[in-house]
Chains A and B, each alone.
Chain A
Amino acid sequence: MGEFDPHNLSEEDFHAEVHSFQFWLEAVEGYLSGTDFGFEPTLTDQTFSARELNFLITTICNYCIAEKTALEASSGMIRFAPDPESAIFLSTQVVDEGRHLEVFVHRLKMLGVIDPWSEIKARANQSLLKFKDRLLELVDQQDWEAAIFAQNVILEAMEFTVFQSQQPTADPITRSILASIVKDERRHMGFGENDLGRKLVQAPHTRRRLDQISKELNPLVLATFTETASELGILHEDRELAISANYLATIKRLGFAV
């Protein structure tokens, strides 16, 4: 991008710039260039114990559910996006979410899962499925503020928190995959924050409705963390508490009720 800095643009030009395909292309070219299904092709897999493998497969199966939810929600929102720039940004998000789903399904195959979608169904976190249903309901209702809040703030914050938490201790290939996905999630959350920030200035009464949605969805997010920990039969209470606290702190930092 040379010496160009989008932050020097006027507010209107800034939004047009950062929501463009061109901006996305330049952003992802850096960190996806030379990768193969999200990781450097030179990386090789470590040997996993049966318990570690089971943990990793369950975790990635649920990442697939979250990413498929995000793919379906972001594609469904394009039709009722309030302006062309938002529609173009969401299109970049659609391909990001599709890529995440594709690399996670590919990772499952690398880990020896023959039929990934049967495995995903079998290991699905029920709280996450409830969250998915509620989010897609908001998308079907073409409720822009509620859908963008549930998708680009709540779901993205949940994924961001979990991916960031797993990244340092993950095996090299999963760590590499998560590193680029976290960068995408940061961009998606930024869009959600920015869009809602502007809407809330124009229509402060919207906050109360979003706070209600936040209060409705947060328990499902926290239940997802707890359910996964319990299903895996692991004693990672400290980590689970840390993930929950990080997630709630993110929502609070964005100014919404927890």
Chain B
Amino acid sequence: MMADFLMGYSIQSWLESCPQGYLDGTDYGHQAGEKEPESLLDNETFREDAIRTTVQLIAGERAALAASSGLVNAAPDDPSKMFLATQTLDEARHVEIFTQRLYDLGVKKDELDSVISTYVNPNLVKFAEVLLEKVDKQDFIAGVVGQNIVLEGMAFSVFEMMHATNHTNNPKFAHTLSGTIADERRHVGFGENRIGSLIQAHPEKKEEIQKMQQEMTYHMLATFTDSFKTNEDIIEEVQAQTMNDSAPAVFHGVDLARADAREMEAVLANTVLGEFKTRLGRIGLEYLSPAA
């Protein structure tokens, strides 16, 4: 029943599972006392790469914060409002912990805005703009598909990939990612469960929403291409330094500790697109390739 399903997304359930559950005792999402590895902080190339990567995470989370808070008023029922209230705070927490990571990487507080505007990928900015246009129009169905299926689906796979890469070399960052992955799983679950019935009730919305997904997917893939191209040399340098002692970091069958940038981009893109197809199919939407 819809009412029973929505009870699972109440603030009471959220309080018990999230702040009083897997976040209990954490410090900005990781275990107290954990630090970024010295090998990263002492190498200017690696440090800059970590800053660039973290900036993309902040940009994505800021978009998610604007979208989830902006959709509260558009929600057609109070349980959905409650869920979006918890998602708003989840996204704000993600903005905060990734911003804190920038500070841990040596970015000064008064440099934050300029560092973000220097490193943010313009394709990711466009990706967010497509979503926020729907939010501004208070289009709840398109907004939730864009936010909880497309954006969160992308974030989920990106975080899982980063977690696989970092879990032995950088436990602090891996732990930070673990909490966000748990949050994203809940958000994607809500999107799938709540939107299916609304799409059924409003079949006229399908075409417009699929077009939004197509546009967002285009900008997402362009972001991936840019990011892996920029990181090509750094990936090789990291692998050359750690080749003999690094444990396999397997993500969907690919050992990230040994894969080159193209293989990494391909496995990430294929994973995200596969997830999109499955999840969109579950809510009665067809995946549209950006190439179409």
Chain A residues in the interface with B (C-beta under 8 A): 12, 16, 20-22, 25, 28-29, 32-33, 36-37, 68, 71-72, 75-76, 78-79, 84, 87-88, 90-92, 94-95, 97-99, 101-102, 105, 117
Contacts and interface: CB of A to CB of B under 8 A. Distances in A.
Contact of A33 (B10, B14, B20): B20
Contact of A102 (B82, B109, B112): B82
Contacts of B88: 75, 78, 91, 94-95
A75 B70 contact: yes
A78 B132 CA distance: 13
Given A98-B82, A99-B11, A87 B109 contact: no
Contacts of B85: 71, 75, 94-95, 97-99
Nearest to A77: B69
A101 B78 contact: yes
A92 B10 contact: no
Given A72-B73, A76-B69, A101 B82 contact: yes
A215 B13 CA distance: 41
A36 B88 CA distance: 22
Interface residues of B, number: 34
Given A20-B96, A21-B89, A75-B88, 12 more contacts: A21-B93, A22-B96, A29-B20, A36-B12, A75-B85, A78-B66, A78-B69, A78-B70, A78-B88, A87-B95, A95-B85, A102-B12
Interface in B188-210: none
A92 B14 CA distance: 13
Nearest to A28: B19
Contacts of A79: 66, 69-70
B72 A102 contact: no
Nearest to A13: B109
A71 B82 CA distance: 9
Contacts of B78: 68, 101, 105, 117
Q: Considering the complex of A and B, which 10 residue pairs feature the smallest CB-CB distances, nearest first? A: A98-B85, A91-B92, A75-B72, A78-B69, A95-B89, A21-B93, A75-B69, A99-B11, A88-B92, A94-B88
Contact of A91 (B19, B91, B109): B91
Interface string B75-95: 000100110111011011101
A21 B82 CA distance: 18
